[in-house]
């Protein structure tokens, strides 16, 4: 039979989701794929029950129901100070995942280049390939994951560079970019006339004293920033698949069309139900931060007690653990052994790095205390079990 598409021939299956299958095979506690094992806010699920009876059940406006767009615009203004036109500057998508591919397809022609920090969330490589764009990686240097401004400028200055993809707070490394770092990126984006496509799905998951700064709010950036975000993490509804793009009207007009042909629209009843959550007051977000800080502390303190080396996250809900002491050449083999012999599943760090880095694994900790404590209990004699 004829060859299948060249574009997709290089795709591996998602390593993150593969590790979930490995976890299931060995009945390991799954700290690989990042989703909470606790419930969404009751107000949202109660509203979903109500909507089941009342509807809507048919297609909504393709770029999102009016109520969710209005609620998103209000929330964005509250947290960033940006005024957003709910009719002209928002597209509601099927998750942040669709927001990102729609944004990259909107910006890039085949042959254009996109700059991505490494380590990076694995979808960005696929987004670039599907758009025909070439990827240029700039390292975030462990252990504090800083970047070299000269290396970034070198990448930005190459011919054909159209955009940068910026994940802030970062999955996998938990970095929260400071205002000064964002200013460097913004100055260079303006200097080289680039778009910045942000992935801000963890905008509300931050550990004090770190704060989220929207790069779109820096002078000269509103017109060139395409914000991609999601309700998956903020309201613990990763299965609902609701995300969004916020950008200037010129860009949004195009994103609306790409989105319409990709998926038509997000699920109408779910948009209706989650709109209740978008109206929550500051106390919801304060409690969310407290809850995540608690989970981070339980897990990171446990890792510390076991004597494992790790980088304390500043945001998002992942921690990168340095596995150098175990002497494995291949972090995938380490993760399979960890699932089989220790009973805890993690993601090999190499799946996030463009550089040849094999000494990190990533755990996520959006879990109930009992799940985290059970995982820590199993990890306590990791050295013996992996000897
Ligand atoms: C950085 C990042 N972006 C996007 C996503 C996917 O978001 P969504 O569920 O909204 O598609 C994830 C999920 O883990 C993520 O970590």
> Mean pLDDT, to the nearest integer, of 21-34?
93
Cβ-based neighbours of 71, under 8 Å, separated by 6 or more: 275, 278, 279
C-alpha 311 to ligand 1 mean position (Å): 21
Q: How confident is the model at residue 382 (pLDDT cuts 50, 70, 90)?
A: very high
- Residue 243, classed as helix, strand or coil, is strand
pTM, 2 dp: 0.96
Does residue 96 have its Cβ closer than 6 Å to ligand 1?
A: yes
Helices (H), the chain: 6-9, 15-25, 42-54, 66-80, 95-107, 123-131, 149-156, 179-191, 249-263, 268-278, 282-306, 331-337, 369-379, 382-385
Locate the ligand 1 atom nearest the alpha carbon of residue 230 and give its number.
Answer: 10
Determine the Cα–Cα distance for residues 112 and 185; give it in Å rounded to an integer.
19
C-alpha 170 to ligand 1 mean position (Å): 11
Does residue 95 have its Cβ closer than 6 Å to ligand 1?
A: yes
Q: Residue 13 above 80 pLDDT?
A: no
Q: Residue 333 above 90 pLDDT?
A: yes
Determine the Cα–Cα distance for residues 245 and 91; give it in Å rounded to an integer.
5
Distances (CA, A) of 331 to 47, 66, 334, 359: 44, 47, 5, 6
Q: Among 121, 122, 169, say which to mutate for ligand 1: greatest number of ligand atoms within 8 Å of CB.
A: 121
Q: Residue 245 above 90 pLDDT?
A: yes
Q: How confident is the model at residue 380 (pLDDT cuts 50, 70, 90)?
A: very high
Does residue 235 have its Cβ closer than 6 Å to ligand 1?
A: no
Does residue 121 have its Cβ closer than 6 Å to ligand 1?
A: yes
Q: In the prediction, which pLDDT does 229 show?
A: 98
- Residue 290, classed as helix, strand or coil, is helix
Cβ-based neighbours of 142, under 8 Å, separated by 6 or more: 173, 311, 320, 357, 360
Q: Residue 15 above 90 pLDDT?
A: no
C-alpha 135 to ligand 1 mean position (Å): 19
Q: What single DSSP character describes residue 230?
A: E
Cβ-based neighbours of 139, under 8 Å, separated by 6 or more: 117, 118, 147, 148, 151, 354, 355
Q: How confident is the model at residue 35 (pLDDT cuts 50, 70, 90)?
A: confident
Within 10 angstroms of residue 387's Cβ, the number of other Cβ atoms is: 8
Q: Residue 243 above 80 pLDDT?
A: yes
Determine the Cα–Cα distance for residues 56 and 313; give it in Å rounded to an integer.
40
> Mean pLDDT, to the nearest integer, of 141-169?
97
Q: How confident is the model at residue 94 (pLDDT cuts 50, 70, 90)?
A: very high
Does residue 230 have its Cβ closer than 6 Å to ligand 1?
A: yes
Does residue 350 have its Cβ closer than 6 Å to ligand 1?
A: no
Q: In the prediction, which pLDDT does 12 show?
A: 77
Task: Tell me which residue has its CA closest to atom 7 in ligand 1.
Answer: 96
Q: Among 36, 170, 232, 239, say which to mutate for ligand 1: greatest number of ligand atoms within 8 Å of CB.
A: 232
Does residue 166 have its Cβ closer than 6 Å to ligand 1?
A: no
Q: Among 20, 31, 94, 97, say which to mutate for ligand 1: greatest number of ligand atoms within 8 Å of CB.
A: 97
pLDDT tens, residue by residue, 297-325: 999 999 999 999 999 999 999 999 999 99
Q: In the prediction, which pLDDT does 14 show?
A: 80
- Mean per-residue pLDDT over the chain, rounded: 96
């Amino acid at each position: 039979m004829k060859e299948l598409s060249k574009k997709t021939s290089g795709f591996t299956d998602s390593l993150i989701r593969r590790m979930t299958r490995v976890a299931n095979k060995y009945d390991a506690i799954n700290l690989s794929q990042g989703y909470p094992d606790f419930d969404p806010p009751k107000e949202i699920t109660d509203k979903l029950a109500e909507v089941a009876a009342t509807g809507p059940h048919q297609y909504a406006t393709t770029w999102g129901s009016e109520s969710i767009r209005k609620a998103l615009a209000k929330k964005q203004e509250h947290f960033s100070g940006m005024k957003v036109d709910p009719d002209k500057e928002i597209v509601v998508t099927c998750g942040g995942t669709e927001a990102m591919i729609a944004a990259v397809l909107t910006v890039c022609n085949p042959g254009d280049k996109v700059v991505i920090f490494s380590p990076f969330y694995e979808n960005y490589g696929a987004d670039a390939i599907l758009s025909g764009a070439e990827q240029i990686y700039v390292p975030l240097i462990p252990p504090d994951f800083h970047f070299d401004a000269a290396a970034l400028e070198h990448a930005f200055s190459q011919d054909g560079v159209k955009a940068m993809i910026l994940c802030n707070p970062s999955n996998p490394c938990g970095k929260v970019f400071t205002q000064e770092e964002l200013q460097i990126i913004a100055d260079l984006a303006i200097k080289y006339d680039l778009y910045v496509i942000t992935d801000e799905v963890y905008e509300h998951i931050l550990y004090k004293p770190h704060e989220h700064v929207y790069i779109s709010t820096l002078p000269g950036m509103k017109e060139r920033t395409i914000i991609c975000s999601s309700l998956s993490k903020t309201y613990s509804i990763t299965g609902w698949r609701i995300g969004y793009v916020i950008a200037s009207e010129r860009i949004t007009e195009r994103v609306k069309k790409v989105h319409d042909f990709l998926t038509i629209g997000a699920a109408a009843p779910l948009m209706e139900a989650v709109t209740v959550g978008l109206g929550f007051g500051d106390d919801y977000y304060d409690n969310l931060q407290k809850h995540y800080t608690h989970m981070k502390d339980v897990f990171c303190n446990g890792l510390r007690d076991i004597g494992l080396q790790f980088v304390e996250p500043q945001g998002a809900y992942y921690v990168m653990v340095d596995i150098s002491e175990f002497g494995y050449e291949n972090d995938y083999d380490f993760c399979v052994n960890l699932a089989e012999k220790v009973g805890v599943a993690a993601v090999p760090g190499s799946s996030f790095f463009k550089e040849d880095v094999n000494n990190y694994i990533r755990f996520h900790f959006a879990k109930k205390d009992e799940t985290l404590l059970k995982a820590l209990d199993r990890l306590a004699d990791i050295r013996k079990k992996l000897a």
